[in-house]
């Protein structure tokens, strides 16, 4: 089993002149940095289209399971294509802080720039565009209309639209397609530009021997084109209102549980179609990525269902999911796929069996390893308890940075960490390096490190704080932080623990 390593960095967190990381030169520079560092993987977060007002910028609450985020379209590329001017981009206020995303200003200004690019294009004469629309009509038509109608009604969720279009009735669809023709075409244009730019970046990464790990949420947002256009796949009533929604039960960290609000699937209906929607989603994900991390994997075994009328998750209950039937179908229809099972949190014996039977590597997060109740080394997240078929992280996008985490621990936990490292002298600020060495030296096949941990950044560089809204998904790298000497340090570490990308080694001989 080949050992390998990678770095976790969302597209949005790349450096950029125009407010948010995107498919610009900085993305290509980061691929070069990964190649120099001998890495095999670049792990990103979901690429879906999100909204500041209704989803608080969370990539896990996208408007579509298939559409891409227009914010990731490179304005520099549009300038090179003659669709925008550098002056227009420079004069647009995207925020003044280089290491933070200002979603309010992005929401106010970036789409208007993209619309200007659309107006300057002769997109209807572009043969590549026509081919893209034809090949993707099965999701693109509904998505583009969904976005145009949403804008027509002032951004209101589709559940608040007039009944005829809310219920996806045919005559209403025809009416709004005619009335909003150019708005619909604009959103098709955005998806075409997203697709072209992303495929070019992925091709560049693969040419430089770097593979992309994508991320797909198990659920889709209630306010999404998927639920609006395919209500029969979700637990909705005859008026297309949700019956039950997703979340997780109360625990020590959330006394009321977590009420996510995503509509739950009608797994019985999906089974009758041979899980066609999921087959399409998985197939399409591998058109975008080389490997896929599936979020909340345990939801396929059992999922927590909460009545849609509830205001907390206290009164939910567990229901059975499709289990291995879904993954047997994927294997039969699509073949063996490179999937990472995100099985974090409370794991039952049936979840463990499903993960084992799937053959997918599961996840280990080092920050979960040091609990006061686990003084005798029994915690499954301690490296000596790993099995090789797993992916180990120092932390994920939902965790504190490694330095921030260590700083925030009490004296007893810090003592546990130092005892496990057999190191009582290293200053606190240098403990992240020791912990990275620990997981890189473990038996896990794959080791993924967030870039913040290599940079020894504190919690000001944290990506997301689960259960909160308004200040997440904002952190960005500064260009000067991706130093050549850091790449060389990461390369030396990767080489030391036998995780070097063999294709990079072969290409450099």
CA separation for the pair 411, 417 (Å, rounded)? 10
Catalytic residue among 290, 310, 380, 398, which?
398
Element (H, E) at 138: helix 137-152
Phi first, then psi: give them for residue 427, nearest 5 degrees. Answer: -60, 150
At residue 390, the 3 state secondary structure works out as strand
Are the C-beta atoms of residues 217 and 295 closer than 8 Å to each other? yes
User: Is 422 annotated in the active site?
Assistant: no
Are the C-beta atoms of residues 195 and 143 closer than 8 Å to each other? no
CA dihedral 191, 196, 200, 201 (to 10 degrees): -20
CA dihedral 433, 461, 487, 425 (to 10 degrees): -20
Say which residues have a Cβ less than 8 Å from residue 153's Cβ, sequence separation at least 6: 160, 161
CA separation for the pair 182, 433 (Å, rounded)? 53
Token pair recorded at residue 385:
């308890």
Please tell me the number of Cα atoms within 13 Å of 227 on its side-chain side. Answer: 27
Token pair recorded at residue 29:
């520079």
User: Is 237 annotated in the active site?
Assistant: no
Query: Tokens 């904002």 identify what position?
Result: 474
CA separation for the pair 307, 246 (Å, rounded)? 9
* Strand-by-strand arrangement of the 302-307 sheet: 258-263, 244-248, 302-307, 317-320
Say which residues have a Cβ less than 8 Å from residue 137's Cβ, sequence separation at least 6: none
Catalytic residue among 35, 215, 226, 342, which?
342
Catalytic residue among 76, 295, 343, 400, which?
295
CA separation for the pair 182, 172 (Å, rounded)? 17
Phi first, then psi: give them for residue 475, nearest 5 degrees. Answer: -70, 140
The DSSP result for 443-507, as a single string, is S-SEEEEEHHHHTT--GGG----TT--SS-S-B---GGGS-HHHHHHHHHHHHHTT---HHHHHH
User: Is 342 annotated in the active site?
Assistant: yes
Say which residues have a Cβ less than 8 Å from residue 75's Cβ, sequence separation at least 6: 18, 22, 24, 84, 89, 113
At residue 66, the 3 state secondary structure works out as coil
Buried b (16+ CB within 10 A) or exposed e, 99-109: eebbbebbeeb
Angle at 114 between CA 191 and CA 71, to 5 degrees: 65
Q: Beta-carbon neighbour count of residue 111 at 10 Å?
A: 15
The DSSP result for 347-365, as a single string, is --HHHHHHHHHHT--EEEE
Query: Annotated catalytic sites, by residue?
Result: 295, 342, 398
């Amino acid at each position: 089993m080949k050992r390998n390593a990678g770095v976790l960095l969302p597209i949005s967190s790349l450096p950029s002149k125009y407010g948010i990381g995107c498919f610009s030169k900085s993305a290509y520079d980061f691929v070069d940095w990964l190649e120099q560092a001998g890495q095999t993987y670049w792990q990103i977060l979901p690429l879906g289209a999100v909204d500041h007002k209704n989803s608080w910028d969370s990539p896990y609450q996208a408007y579509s399971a298939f559409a891409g985020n227009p914010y990731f379209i490179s304005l520099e590329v549009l300038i090179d294509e003659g669709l925008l001017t550098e002056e227009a981009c420079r004069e647009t206020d995207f925020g003044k802080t280089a290491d933070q995303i200002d979603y309010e200003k992005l929401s106010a200004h970036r789409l208007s720039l993209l619309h200007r690019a659309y107006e300057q294009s002769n997109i209807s004469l572009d043969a590549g565009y026509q081919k893209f629309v034809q090949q993707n009509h099965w999701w693109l038509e509904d998505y583009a209309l969904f976005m145009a109608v949403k804008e027509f009604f002032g951004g209101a969720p589709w559940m608040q639209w007039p009944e005829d279009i809310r219920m996806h009735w045919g005559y209403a669809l025809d009416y709004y397609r005619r009335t909003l023709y150019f708005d619909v075409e604009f959103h098709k244009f955005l998806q075409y530009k997203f697709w072209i730019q992303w495929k070019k970046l992925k091709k560049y990464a693969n040419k430089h021997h770097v593979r992309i790990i994508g991320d797909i949420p198990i659920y889709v947002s209630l306010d999404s084109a998927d639920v609006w256009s395919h209500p029969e796949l979700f637990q909705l009533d005859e008026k297309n209102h949700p019956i039950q929604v997703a979340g997780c039960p109360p625990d020590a960290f959330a006394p009321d549980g977590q009420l996510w609000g995503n509509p739950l699937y009608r797994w019985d209906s999906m089974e009758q179609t041979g899980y066609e929607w999921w087959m399409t989603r998985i197939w399409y994900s591998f058109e975008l990525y080389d490997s896929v991390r599936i979020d909340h994997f345990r939801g396929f075994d059992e999922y927590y269902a909460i009545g849609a009328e509830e205001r907390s998750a206290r009164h939910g209950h567990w229901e059975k999911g499709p289990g291995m039937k879904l993954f047997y179908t994927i294997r039969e229809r699509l073949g063996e796929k490179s999937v990472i099972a995100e099985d974090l949190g409370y794991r039952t014996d049936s979840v463990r069996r499903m993960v084992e039977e799937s053959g997918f590597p599961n996840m280990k997060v080092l920050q979960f390893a040091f609990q006061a109740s686990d003084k005798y080394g029994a915690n499954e997240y301690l490296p000596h308890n790993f099995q090789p078929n797993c992916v180990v992280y120092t932390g994920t996008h939902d965790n504190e940075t490694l330095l921030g985490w260590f700083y925030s621990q009490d004296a007893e936990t810090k003592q546990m960490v130092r005892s496990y490292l057999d190191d009582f002298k290293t200053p606190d600020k240098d403990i992240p390096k020791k912990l990275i060495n620990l997981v890189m030296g473990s038996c896990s096949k794959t080791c993924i490190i967030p870039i913040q941990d290599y940079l020894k950044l504190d919690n000001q560089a944290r990506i997301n704080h689960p259960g909160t809204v308004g200040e997440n998904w904002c952190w960005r790298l500064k260009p000067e932080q991706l130093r050549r000497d850091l790449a060389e340090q990461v390369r030396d570490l990767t080489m030391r623990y036998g995780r070097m990308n063999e294709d990079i080694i072969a290409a450099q001989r």
